[in-house]
């Protein structure tokens, strides 16, 4: 396959630009956005000549792949249109906004057999990849409990500068439950290889703010996995607080990892001493275990590291382009993206019913219609 031509939908998708520009034989060939002023400003900066306000018009060009970085309610309709047009798709989070949409998405990927990648970039941070490798090496023993938190007050961006309500006021803060779970679920699920979420329960303290939205002042979602492990996923985008968008904890039989809880803290880890398992455990800086970083992170060039998230924003794009070239599904495939997204969608039912446990349908190839249901 020769040069890969990529179209970007939504100018906030520019986080992928540095990675795309650092990969040989890849061209940003087209851009699309409803806001013509922002579209032209971004396209001028990147010297992209093909510009569209209508997504379907961009699909009629000779691009090979589309990066969808539009508001979340547009992700599935645009992904389906792109797959039908024979394009590979990389979609920002979340994968969809209803359970039905998730099934439509799986069905289209299966029908048109083009790569679909879920762009959960927090999975690709060096911190998450390092702990993932340590789990593979058995250094934390058997992992059995994890926490992930996304704490980001977004009340200031619920309106556009012109005073109109933004899409976030409807599709994020206009409803209850954990509307944005995947920055937490995705990384912690990296540490439970081969496992799947089978049940969730979501709890909240209700609304304790004067923003005027339905969204809870924080939700905690407990996830049970197929292998009996437990995850605690917290999202709070309404409470007044400093940002902390990537807090994680992993407890195993052989040790514990805990990421920094504020800017003054450090990522730390404590492991049982193999030669003296009865000795008192002490914290060490995670950086002391950098020898367990995947080789491509150790060997990353300066430009790749500048792409964002310590090189993660380069490697997620690299994996997508590799999938396009080979016409294969990436590790973060449609079933993974749908499972992580469904944690949030099912949480709406659970939190509205006092934390009622809701079974997770199993997203897998060729799921029969009788299994595409929500069991109550």
Q: Does residue 273 surpass a pLDDT of 90?
A: no
Is residue 282, in this structure, part of any structural domain at all? yes
Q: Containing domain of residue 373, as a range?
A: 121-294+333-376
Identify whether 136 is part of a domain.
Answer: yes
Residues above pLDDT 90, as percent of the chain: 89
**CA gap 56, 74 in Å, rounded:** 13
80, part of any domain: no
- Prior bond of 288 cis (ω within 30°): no
- Structural domain total, the chain: 1
This prediction has a pTM of: 0.96
User: Could you tell me if residue 154 is inside a domain?
Assistant: yes
CA 251 to chain centre: 22
**pLDDT tens digit string along 17-59?**
999 999 999 999 999 999 999 999 999 999 999 999 999 999 9
Rounded distance between C-alpha atoms, residue 40 and residue 14, angstroms: 13
Domain annotation covers residue 255: yes
Q: 272: alpha, beta or left, given left = phi > 0 and alpha = psi -120 to 50?
A: beta
**Tokens of residue 169, six digits:** 């006021």
The answer as to whether 86 is a domain residue is no
- Domain contains 323: no
Q: 275: pLDDT confidence band, cut at 50, 70 and 90?
A: low
358 in any annotated domain: yes
In this structure, what CATH number is given to the domain that contains residue 242? Answer: 3.30.360.10
pLDDT at 100: 97
């Amino acid at each position: 396959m020769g040069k890969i031509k990529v179209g970007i939908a939504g100018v906030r998708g520019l986080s992928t630009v540095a990675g795309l520009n650092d990969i040989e034989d890849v061209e940003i060939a087209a851009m699309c956005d409803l806001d013509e002023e922002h579209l032209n400003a971004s396209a001028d900066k990147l010297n992209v000549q093909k510009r569209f306000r209508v997504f379907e018009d961009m699909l009629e060009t000779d691009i090979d792949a589309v990066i969808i970085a539009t508001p979340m309610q547009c992700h599935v309709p645009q992904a389906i249109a792109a797959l039908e047009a024979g394009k590979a798709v990389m979609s920002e989070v979340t994968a969809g906004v209803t359970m039905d949409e998730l099934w439509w998405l799986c069905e289209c990927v299966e029908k048109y057999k083009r790569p679909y990648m879920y762009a959960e970039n927090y999975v690709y941070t060096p911190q998450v990849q390092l702990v993932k490798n340590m789990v593979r090496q058995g250094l934390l023993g058997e992992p059995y409990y994890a926490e992930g938190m996304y704490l980001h007050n977004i009340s200031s961006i619920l309106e556009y500068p012109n005073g109109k309500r933004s899409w976030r006021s409807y599709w994020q803060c206009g409803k209850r439950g954990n509307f944005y779970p995947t920055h937490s679920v995705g990384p912690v699920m990296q540490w439970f290889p081969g496992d799947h979420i089978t049940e969730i329960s979501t709890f909240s303290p209700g609304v304790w703010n004067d923003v005027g939205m339905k969204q809870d002042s924080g939700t905690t979602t407990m996830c049970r996995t197929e292998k009996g492990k437990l995850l605690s996923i917290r999202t709070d985008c309404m409470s007044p607080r400093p940002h902390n968008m990537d807090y994680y904890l992993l407890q195993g039989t052989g040790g514990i990892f805990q990421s920094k809880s504020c800017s003054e803290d450090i990522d730390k880890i404590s492991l049982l001493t193999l030669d003296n398992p009865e000795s008192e455990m002490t914290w060490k800086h995670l950086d002391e275990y950098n020898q367990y970083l995947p080789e491509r992170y150790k060997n990353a060039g300066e430009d790749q590291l500048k792409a964002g998230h310590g090189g993660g924003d380069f490697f997620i794009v690299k994996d997508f382009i590799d999938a396009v070239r080979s016409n294969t599904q990436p590790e973060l495939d449609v079933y993974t993206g749908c499972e992580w997204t469904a944690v949030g969608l099912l949480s709406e039912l659970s939190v509205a019913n006092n934390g009622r446990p809701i079974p997770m349908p199993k997203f897998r190839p060729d799921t029969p219609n009788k299994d595409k249901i929500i069991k109550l």
